[in-house]
Amino acid sequence: MNWLNYLVVFSVLSFFFFGIQCFRSAYMKLEFHRYGLDRYRTTVGVLQLVGAAAQLIGLLYAPLLLIIASLGLAILMFLGFIVRIRIKDNIYQTAPSFLYVLINMYILYSLIADHFVV
């Protein structure tokens, strides 16, 4: 397994975990309330789970699906990063969302460079 595959597996496991937490965790419920986004908690959880599943399927069978899923998760995390800035979270609270943006953009860039650039 190469470096890119490890990043994809890390992303998949992370988004499966956080997606499930959106449905089960009282802490996540409080966090979404703090963000002012209570009504979007379920939607975000579904998007995280679908994105993680698509990344896993894409890794195993369909690089284009992995590209689309990585782009979607990068956008989702970029929006999360903007929310964190908007509510004035500190750097320790804000950094993880930006890290996931970078990870998924790296996955996206690497796949495009490997599969679609001549």
Taking only Cα atoms into account, the Rg of the chain, rounded to an integer number of angstroms, comes to 15
Q: What is the mean pLDDT of residues 87-106?
A: 97
pLDDT at 1 over 80: no
Q: What is the pLDDT of residue 118?
A: 56
pLDDT in tens, 54-76: 999 999 999 999 999 999 999 99
Q: What is the pLDDT of residue 114?
A: 86
pLDDT in tens, 10-19: 999 999 999 9
Own/partner contacts of 102-105, CB < 8 Å, gap of 24 or more, are 103/7, 103/10, 103/11, 104/11, 104/70, 104/71, 104/73, 104/74, 104/77, 105/70, 105/74
- Where are the chain's structural domains? 3-115
CA–chain centroid gap for 98, Å, is 10
pLDDT in tens, 18-41: 999 999 999 999 999 999 999 999
pTM of the model: 0.93
pLDDT at 49 over 70: yes
